[in-house]
Structure 1
Amino acid sequence: MEKIIEIQHVSKSYGYLLNKVKVLDDLSFSVNKGEFVGIMGPSGAGKSTLLNVISTVDTPSSGLVKISGKNILEMRSGQLSDFRRRKIGFIFQDFNLVESLNVKDNILLPLAIDHIPVHTMEERLQHVAEILNIEKILTAYPAAVSIGQKQRVAAARALIVNPMLIFADEPTGSLDSKAAAELLQYMSEMNRQDRATIVMVTHDPYTASYCNRVLFIKDGSFFSEVVRQGSREQFFNQVIDMQATIGGGNRLDHF
Structure 2
Amino acid sequence: MQRIVEVDHLSKIYGKKSNPVKVLENISFHVDKGEFVGIMGPSGAGKTTLLNMLSTIDQPTVGSIKIGKQDITRMKERQLSDFRRKELGFIFQDFNLMNSLTVKDNIMLPLALDRTPVNDMEKGLSHVSRILGIDHILNSYPSDISIGQKQRVAAARAVITHPQLILADEPTGSLDSKSATELLHYLSRLNEEEKATIIMVTHDAFTASYCHRILFIKDGAIFSEIVRQGSRKEFFQKVIDMQAAIGGGVSHDVV
User: Deviation at 1:253?
Assistant: 6.3
Work out whether 1:79 is the aligned partner of 2:87: no
Q: In structure 2, what is the equivalent of residue 181 of structure 1?
A: 181
Percent of paired sites with the same residue? 64
User: Deviation at 1:248?
Assistant: 8.0
User: Deviation at 1:136?
Assistant: 1.1
User: Deviation at 1:73?
Assistant: 1.4
Task: Point out the more displaced range, 206-215 or 46-55.
Answer: 46-55
Query: Pairwise mapping of residues 78-157 of structure 1 onto structure 2 (< 5 A)?
Result: 78-157=78-157
Q: Deviations over 1:22-57 (max 9, x none)?
A: 111110111111100000000110101101111212
Work out whether 1:216 is the aligned partner of 2:220: no
Work out whether 1:18 is the aligned partner of 2:9: no
1:252–1:169 CA distance, 2 compared to 1 (3 A): closer
TM-score (norm 2): 0.97
User: Deviation at 1:71?
Assistant: 0.8
Work out whether 1:43 is the aligned partner of 2:5: no
**2 CA distance for matches of 1:87 and 1:17?**
35
Query: Pairwise mapping of residues 239-250 of structure 1 onto structure 2 (< 5 A)?
Result: 239-247=239-247
User: Deviation at 1:18?
Assistant: 3.2
User: Deviation at 1:2?
Assistant: 1.6
1:59–1:252 CA distance, 2 compared to 1 (3 A): closer
**2 CA distance for matches of 1:157 and 1:95?**
10
Matched AA of 2:29: F
Work out whether 1:32 is the aligned partner of 2:32: yes
Q: Deviations over 1:173-217 (max 9, x none)?
A: 000000000000000000000000000000000000000000000
1:239–1:79 CA distance, 2 compared to 1 (3 A): same
Paired residues, what number? 254
Q: In structure 2, what is the equivalent of residue 58 of structure 1?
A: 58
Unaligned ranges ≥5, structure 2? none
TM-score (norm 1): 0.97
1:25–1:102 CA distance, 2 compared to 1 (3 A): same
User: Deviation at 1:75?
Assistant: 1.5
Q: In structure 2, what is the equivalent of residue 254 of structure 1?
A: 253
**2 CA distance for matches of 1:154 and 1:6?**
26
**2 CA distance for matches of 1:239 and 1:35?**
18
Q: Counterpart of 1:254 in 2: which secondary structure?
A: coil
1:110–1:253 CA distance, 2 compared to 1 (3 A): closer
Q: Alignment RMSD, CA only?
A: 1.4
**2 CA distance for matches of 1:248 and 1:33?**
29
Q: In structure 2, what is the equivalent of residue 194 of structure 1?
A: 194
User: Deviation at 1:74?
Assistant: 1.6
Matched AA of 1:115: R
**1 CA distance for matches of 2:86 and 2:214?**
26
**2 CA distance for matches of 1:252 and 1:98?**
31
Q: Deviations over 1:82-114 (max 9, x none)?
A: 111011100000000011111000000000000
1:25–1:132 CA distance, 2 compared to 1 (3 A): same
**2 CA distance for matches of 1:140 and 1:61?**
44
**1 CA distance for matches of 2:52 and 2:119?**
33
Matched AA of 1:19: N
**2 CA distance for matches of 1:252 and 1:209?**
10
Matched AA of 2:42: P
